[in-house]
Structure 1
């Protein structure tokens, strides 16, 4: 028996692995941070023998309630992922699985590798509608990529989409993959209508360093990028600094920041009700987008989500609020579950990479329904 994490986004520490029925593990914290929850490891196992993998520090993780009713993900080929029995007793998380093959990968959610990220950029670049840009570099020296989709023009709306500020929320980049695949389909009428009216500026991965390092929530310096939007800096948060600089140069008419929520088993959005400049027009735009989203996909709902912020009490270090206030534009944080969408449960995979991609695809119809109202 052997456990490996020596690969992109690998994260687990082995306390002991002497017996299949009691493999003792710990999740490693983000660098220079107390955040931890993401895990991703490979097990060399004995076939047809139950393996009990106990993550002993689960109760002290960033979101311990996120383990309640949670089932870990597993894969034999790193393409097709499924859920395996998982139990949380308030302190320890126990993953129980009888492997059918000699090696298995386990993860908090379906990983989205740096290699796949690079493939996504190059595949998108094959479209005549796409330009790939490098905005700058991260603290670990990785490139910060942006895709410009459509031909800029004065009459067109500037729509920005960022994903994976929190690197362990991999469903966000799966969402972007599905959105891009649909947006770049020349035979898709929704896409053609959108690109007649708007240009998309898409940053598929806001946190390359944290993604490769196997972090849950922070970049290489242990900084939560979604608390840096008031005053980003090159020494702590160059990822936000470069994107915000580009936003200032181009302008923003609509902004979607894509995330995953550890606790809530639903898809939902968080708006900008608490920003100082919030007014009736902004409120109507938000209501119209929520209604359009409900019509676009049964995966979306408005019953469950975060509490609305009181007037003037928005946290302007958070991306959606900061951008909404700075550019007086429609902005939302989109949240997806790590567990399942309880409105539409699916026991084998629960919420998955496939459903995240489809949710990204369906978001385009909601954008189309409000694009003419953005100015």
Structure 2
């Protein structure tokens, strides 16, 4: 548990999976209406808690996952689309969290700052759903030239595992409008911080449109975990 000061929901859950020194943070549902993010998270969790041989060799022994399945449970309980109980778009307030106005976000940010001081954090993934774009893609941060190849390595690996993931739509930017998002703010702590976006609707395959289903979202979550395993197999010392 990270926070027990929400008004409607008792706490924000924190799951710890694995025993490795290196850490990975995975979060979802900061925007309560983006329900596909929970199906992705479900597929991800099902896989990293399974008995898959690849997972056992390259993930659990090397990595500890810190997973926050629902960042905005009050907003979800109220049926809000984008905001919290207090009316804030939490994914615009990571830079200036307030313990009164955004108690959950404030607690999560404090936890992550403390985590970074104690352990190497290799990745941070913030999972969202997109109401306009199709397919799945990532947003990343603009980094120094010597860090670019390392930062861009994971999306390339992910694209090999997920047919619905688009490298061409993946974008690395420093848009001022997004300065308060998790990806931008946490990028100062964890250089490989990404927003994973997935369409509410469909993706393109062989020039045809394929509607997303609950299973397709779950498969994307599993493929995210498989891509992480492949990353550590390919780059064990990074």
1:272: how far off?
Answer: 0.7
1:366 pairs, out of 211, 223, 227, with 227
Q: Is the 8 A contact 1:162 1:256 kept in 2?
A: yes
Q: Is the 8 A contact 1:234 1:241 kept in 2?
A: yes
Q: 1:266 is matched with which residue?
A: 135
Structure 1: give runs of 5+ residues left out of the alignment.
Answer: 1-132
2:167 is aligned with 1:299: no
Q: 1:255–1:358: structure 2 CA closer, same or farther, 3 Å change rule?
A: same
Separation of aligned partners in 2, 1:216 and 1:184: 30
2:191 is aligned with 1:329: yes
2:141 is aligned with 1:279: no
Q: 1:328–1:205: structure 2 CA closer, same or farther, 3 Å change rule?
A: closer
1:192: how far off?
Answer: 4.0
Q: 1:374–1:366: structure 2 CA closer, same or farther, 3 Å change rule?
A: farther
Q: 1:358–1:246: structure 2 CA closer, same or farther, 3 Å change rule?
A: same
Separation of aligned partners in 1, 2:57 and 2:51: 7
2:12 is aligned with 1:144: yes
Detail structure 1 runs of 4+ shifted over 4 Å in the superposition: 372-375
What TM-score comes out, normalization by structure 2 length? Answer: 0.89
Q: 1:126 is matched with which residue?
A: none
What TM-score comes out, normalization by structure 1 length? Answer: 0.58
Q: 1:25 is matched with which residue?
A: none
Q: Is the 8 A contact 2:179 2:185 kept in 1?
A: yes
Partner secondary structure for residue 112 of structure 2? helix
Q: 1:99 is matched with which residue?
A: none
Q: 1:245 is matched with which residue?
A: 110
2:220 is aligned with 1:355: no
Separation of aligned partners in 2, 1:355 and 1:289: 21
> What is the CA RMSD across the aligned residues, in angstroms?
2.0
1:314: how far off?
Answer: 7.6
Q: Report Cα offsets for 1:301-332 as digits up to 9, x if no partner.
A: 122355x425x85843110111111x142010
2:188 is aligned with 1:319: no
Q: Is the 8 A contact 1:266 1:340 kept in 2?
A: yes
Separation of aligned partners in 1, 2:85 and 2:135: 30
1:184 pairs, out of 49, 55, 70, with 49
Q: 2:25 is matched with which residue?
A: 160
Which has more radius of gyration? 1
1:142: how far off?
Answer: 2.8
2:123 pairs, out of 225, 232, 254, with 254
Separation of aligned partners in 1, 2:170 and 2:113: 30
Q: Is the 8 A contact 1:171 1:352 kept in 2?
A: no
Q: 2:209 is matched with which residue?
A: 345
Separation of aligned partners in 1, 2:203 and 2:6: 34
Partner secondary structure for residue 65 of structure 2? strand
Partner secondary structure for residue 98 of structure 2? coil
Q: 1:309 is matched with which residue?
A: 173
Q: Report Cα offsets for 1:219-263 as digits up to 9, x if no partner.
A: 101100101110211211112111111111212321000000000
Q: Is the 8 A contact 1:184 1:191 kept in 2?
A: no
